[in-house]
Amino acid sequence: MMSSTTLMPPLLKKMTEYKRQMVSRTTVVYQDNKVKVLKVVGKIDKTKSPVLMIPAMINKYYILDLSENNSLAKSLSDEGHAVYMIDWGEADPEDRWQTFTDVFLKVLKRVVSRVTRDAGEKPVLFGYCMGGAISAIYTSMFQDEIKGLIGLTVPIDFSKAGVMSKWTNKEHINPYLAVAAMGNMSPEMTQNSFISLKPAKFLKKWDTAWKKQDDDKFMDSFLILEQWVNENIPFPGGIWQEYITWLYQDNLFFKDELYVGNHKASLKNITCPILTIIANDDHIVPSESAEPLHNLAGSTNKTIKNFAGGHVGIIASPKLFPQLAETVKNWLEDNK
């Protein structure tokens, strides 16, 4: 008798059987509650800058280490860089009381200190999306701890952050009341909000997958990314409410009015070399939202690069990734 999977269309069969394989071998060099710092195991060239990669807090970290051919962590490690990645872990109900202030003044303070001791020098921060905003804010407060800053699709002017800036407007949502009612923001809420930005694109994605289900190369890339997209993680409520209020609603960092504890977070305070990378078709962080990282930072060593593609495609597309990796590697080489 044939099994049920034998009778499935190739798309469903491949989805059922797919299991992501680990790309880079890593070791945990630091842990703070659920937050881990993973170091890629590889041969390190001491003349190369160490890189601390910071992803968004709503996704699994492995978008930075997606597949054998699409891993920025692996690409940089192969060049001899000491590469560290933050794994935010998965928040539980008790983590609802964590704050955005805690992220900067407790967690990241310890992480950067540990990475610096392990690497023997200050790291370059590489931040993706929300992780880039976190990286920029941290650098603006503690510039003396950071060697360089790379921002990939980083929102800075949140008033220009597309539809999301309208949905999070004070007229439509009170983040503090939302957290009081729900606690942590669930993965389902986060994922559905992003799908709702372009619902037709979600349907088109599956239409394309159905038509190309016999293309093994396409399906490998599709399934790897699809697993990551569907692995959103809970967003600690206290962090979420401050993130939305401070940045989306009040736009404090862009306006040069953000204080974290007693520390002023000002783009003008960023004086290290900066690489700003923008995706021209990004509907989550449009170019006008990301450009202020380049335009307003106090550094005199600033580079901005524009790529075709969208918010995820710029790092996950087999066509775009080689260009991204080469750009980052060249910039790091030029700014040792």
Question: What confidence tens digit (pLDDT) does each residue in 233-271 have?
Answer: 999 999 999 999 999 999 999 999 999 999 999 999 999
> Does residue 112 or residue 6 have the better pLDDT?
112
Closest CA to 185 of 251, 286, 311, 98: 98
Q: Average pLDDT in the 60-69 region?
A: 91
pLDDT at 321: 93
> Does residue 75 or residue 166 have the better pLDDT?
75
Whether 230 shows a pLDDT value over 50: the answer reads: yes
Nearest-angstrom CA–CA distance, 320 and 279: 10
Measure CA 250 to chain center. Answer: 22
Nearest-angstrom CA–CA distance, 261 and 208: 48
Nearest-angstrom CA–CA distance, 210 and 212: 6
Residues 147, 151, 157, 158: is their CA dihedral positive or negative?
Answer: negative
pLDDT at 3: 47
> Does residue 243 or residue 17 have the better pLDDT?
243
Do residues 258 and 209 make contact, with C-beta atoms less than 8 angstroms apart? no
Beta strands in the chain (DSSP E): 26-32, 35-40, 51-54, 83-87, 124-128, 148-152, 258-260, 263-265, 274-279, 302-307
Closest CA to 83 of 141, 139, 25, 129: 25
CATH code of the domain made up of 10-334: 3.40.50.1820
* Entry pTM: 0.92
Question: What confidence tens digit (pLDDT) does each residue in 259-307 have?
Answer: 999 999 999 999 999 999 999 999 999 999 999 999 999 999 999 999 9
Task: Name residue, tokens 């962090």.
Answer: 239
pLDDT at 94: 93
Could you tell me the residue ranges of all domains in the chain?
Answer: 10-334
Split at pLDDT 50, 70, 90, the class of 228 is confident
Do residues 130 and 261 make contact, with C-beta atoms less than 8 angstroms apart? no
What is the residue type of 67? Answer: S
